[in-house]
Structure 1
Amino acid sequence: MQPTLSELQTFLNQNEIPKIKSKPKTFLGIAKQPHYENVLSNIYAFYFDVNEEHKLNDLFISSLLEVINESNQQIETFVNFEVLTEFSVSDQKRIDILLQNTDQAIIIENKVYHHLNNDLDVYYNDVAASVKIGVVLSIDTISSINHPHFINITHLQLLSKVMSNLGNYLLEARDKYVVFLKDLYQNTINLSQPLMNENDFNFYFENQQKINNLVTYRVEARKHLEHEVKRAFNTLEEQDLNIRLYESKGELGNKLSYFESTIDKNLMFTIVYNGLLKEERTLKLIIELKGKALKDKEIYRGITLSGKDNESFYKSKNKVYAHFAVKSYQLEQKDIRSLSQVIINKLNEDGFISTFTKLENILKLSK
């Protein structure tokens, strides 16, 4: 049975709705490459190289050895090694990262979302070293690797150890590579941890029906706004204003509507109403010109909404569209319910319609 409005109000009064924290953006995420294994392998190789210009010296190899030794594998020292990526072995296979000196080797298989189906025997047997250990570096813990000389370490385990040891290296390190390292660490956290924590997830399922009904109310509230905008259009159309309703498709269609001039489609009112469902409850009214109507802006000089020219319109280099006049209104709740009348009143009383008509006449004459 659907809960009543009273029951929903009680639910809101008695429960604090959890705020879901979005994951911080990283440069790898912005570049759309947060999980590519070869990209991450190249970054790791750069930091493992003690002679690279990051000046973090042995931070990465020391941290890796700590994690390896915590897993009951022992490598006391590991120095004078080279760092190789995509190292070729038998059967046209490649090791993601190989750390190797004359006697020792650490074989690293880098996994993010792919399954572990690599031939670890080939990797291990084809590396010439008297002391060697394999590491499967993964996002999630792998319960069984099925190879006696390979251990599993998660990316987060390794980088958490790196970050805990970082303080000892900061004095010599180059700042920008420390910034890159922090970004890599955040990227690893983003990949390793779910968006919602357990309490947030449980809250949803414990209150699923009520939350779904609240979402429905939000959808209905948006439909109310769309209906009111259309009512405003119908009223203006009856006032012999030369306009037609143009509704945007996709995401924009939930945010704004255009009242387009039938004399020249490059002139329109833009009604931006998505802010009304936010805390600030903002309505924005715009007279917008676009395309061919922007070729000679000087013909509009002297037509103003507030008694002075909108200089940002004349200075704009945008050849696609420009806002000739803009005004924002913070509405009361009661005003939102009768939004169509508010739109009509603002357009009339604040000079939007008279300005629109003057622009329309100029465009008609310029044809």
Structure 2
Amino acid sequence: MLLENKLKYFEALLESAKKFKQQPREKTFFDTAIRNHYENPTTELLEFFLNPQESHELGDVFWKGFADVVQAELKQDTDVSMGQIERLERECVTHSGNRIDLMLETDSHLLLVEAKIYHHQNNPFDDYVKYAKTRTKGKEILGLILSISGKSEALNWYGISYQQLVNAVRPYLAEQMLSQPMNKWNLFAREFLLHLESYYKIQNLDMNRVQFIFDHYQEIQELQKLKTNTIKEVVEKISQQLNLMIDNYASFTKYESWGGIRFYNHAWGNLTNTTLHIREHKGETIFGVTTYILNLSEELQEEAFQILNCHEDSRLRNWKIEKYKGGAERWLCIYWDSPEPTFEAIEKLILEKARLLDQIEKTLR
């Protein structure tokens, strides 16, 4: 009775945890390329998109959004223009050898932009301004620190956030996409904005979710332990059934780091196996079984399919050939899905395919 009450409590705990389920962030192609080197590529892309004369054909879409953010930060009247861009320089070297991330010159301002992602704001800002004064031509100098927090730690430098920039540029980009829907750079610009937003995946910490974990930490640990022990018992039971149901079957198992659990047979003398794996797909838990056959000749492949009933069994998902060790290992991989998420259905699938696999090993080798 105590165990039954415990299970009911865990059911209620899991139900209450559903509201904290995190939705996966939409990935962009930038995630595949610049994740380990944030600031330089970000500055390069900003320079590219902020320049109305560049080949992106987006005109001043990014510049208008950027200028709106700066004017809002300066609390200037929206009628006061930041001017039109005349020149952009990245990695601008001062007389002292320091580098300004991005310098934008308009017909009225000289904007110094320092782009920060996760680094501290410990740059020689005074030297940046000193150098800018030699280039100003009487224009107003503005120092801007673009960062995740949007805060400036430098005297007389204004802080703006990537999220502010994204929010300001999006409406202009939306208009651009409607007027020129076939422009490929619309997609790249959208991806870049999504990439800038990805910097906030840790900043936007859901404190209710954190508190839920803290409040139920011990119970979650118990639930994890219950899961581990239960899966171990399931594996042991299936191993026992394999030994009982198949002649001369001597089962041994291996837990893979990616979550698969392999059932081998000592009697075969090779690594052919039946593997249980549990995965999530479109919000559902899928219990899958894979038949792995090592170095079976191609001539015998169709016979193996016939024995395993591949052509008739609706549980078959697909199959493929994988080669390792320079082709010395040729694996025939056949994937099955359990029709129901029950122990009986999973056990039946594993035992059935393992028995047929035993037939293959004893007759086709």
* C-alpha distance in structure 2 between counterparts of 1:77 and 1:51, whole Å: 17
Q: Determine if the alignment matches structure 1 residue 216 to structure 2 residue 218.
A: no
Say which is worse superposed, 76-85 or 195-204, in terms of deviation. 195-204
Q: Which residue of 1 aligns with 2:185?
A: 177
Q: Determine if the alignment matches structure 1 residue 247 to structure 2 residue 278.
A: no
Please say if residues 287 and 356 of structure 1, whose CA atoms lie closer than 8 Å, have aligned partners that are also in contact.
no
Distance 1:273 1:159, change over 3 A: closer
* C-alpha distance in structure 2 between counterparts of 1:94 and 1:123, whole Å: 8
What is the percent sequence identity of the aligned residues? 18
* C-alpha distance in structure 2 between counterparts of 1:84 and 1:153, whole Å: 20
Q: Determine if the alignment matches structure 1 residue 65 to structure 2 residue 52.
A: no
Query: What root-mean-square deviation, in Å, do the aligned CA atoms of Structure 1 and Structure 2 show?
Result: 3.6
Please say if residues 107 and 132 of structure 1, whose CA atoms lie closer than 8 Å, have aligned partners that are also in contact.
yes
Alpha-carbon offset, residue 326 of structure 1: 5.0
TM-score (norm 1): 0.78
Specify every segment of 5 or more residues in structure 1 that has no aligned partner in the other structure, as ranges.
363-367
Q: Deviations over 1:303-358 (max 9, x none)?
A: 53156889x9998474444326554433563527x94x87445533xx33222311
* C-alpha distance in structure 2 between counterparts of 1:97 and 1:327, whole Å: 55
Instruction: Give the 5 Å matches for 1:1-367.
Output: 4-12=6-14, 16-33=18-35, 36-72=38-74, 74=76, 76-101=81-106, 104-127=109-132, 128-129=135-136, 130=138, 131-142=140-151, 144-148=152-156, 150-170=157-177, 171-172=179-180, 175-194=183-202, 196-232=205-241, 234-235=243-244, 239-241=247-249, 245=252, 247-251=254-258, 254-259=259-264, 264-265=269-270, 268-274=272-278, 279=284, 282-289=287-294, 293=295, 296-299=297-300, 302-303=303-304, 304-306=306-308, 316=321, 318=323, 319=327, 320-323=329-332, 327-331=336-340, 333=342, 335=344, 339=347, 343-344=350-351, 347-348=354-355, 351-359=356-364, 362=365
Q: Deviations over 1:267-312 (max 9, x none)?
A: x1222242599955534151412xxx25x421555453156889x9
Amino acid in structure 1 at the alignment position of 2:362: T
Specify every segment of 5 or more residues in structure 2 that has no aligned partner in the other structure, as ranges.
none
Distance 1:168 1:297, change over 3 A: closer
Distance 1:14 1:199, change over 3 A: closer
Amino acid in structure 1 at the alignment position of 2:278: N
* C-alpha distance in structure 2 between counterparts of 1:123 and 1:156, whole Å: 25
* C-alpha distance in structure 1 between counterparts of 2:319 and 2:215, whole Å: 56
* C-alpha distance in structure 2 between counterparts of 1:187 and 1:269, whole Å: 42
Alpha-carbon offset, residue 97 of structure 1: 0.7
Amino acid in structure 1 at the alignment position of 2:174: G
* C-alpha distance in structure 1 between counterparts of 2:9 and 2:302, whole Å: 57
Higher strand share: 2
TM-score (norm 2): 0.79
* C-alpha distance in structure 2 between counterparts of 1:54 and 1:22, whole Å: 29
Please say if residues 248 and 267 of structure 2, whose CA atoms lie closer than 8 Å, have aligned partners that are also in contact.
no
Aligned positions, number? 343
Amino acid in structure 1 at the alignment position of 2:155: H
Please say if residues 145 and 160 of structure 2, whose CA atoms lie closer than 8 Å, have aligned partners that are also in contact.
yes
Q: Deviations over 1:150-172 (max 9, x none)?
A: 20001111121011222333324
Distance 1:276 1:356, change over 3 A: farther
Distance 1:89 1:186, change over 3 A: same
Distance 1:234 1:7, change over 3 A: same
Q: Deviations over 1:86-108 (max 9, x none)?
A: 11113221011111257631110
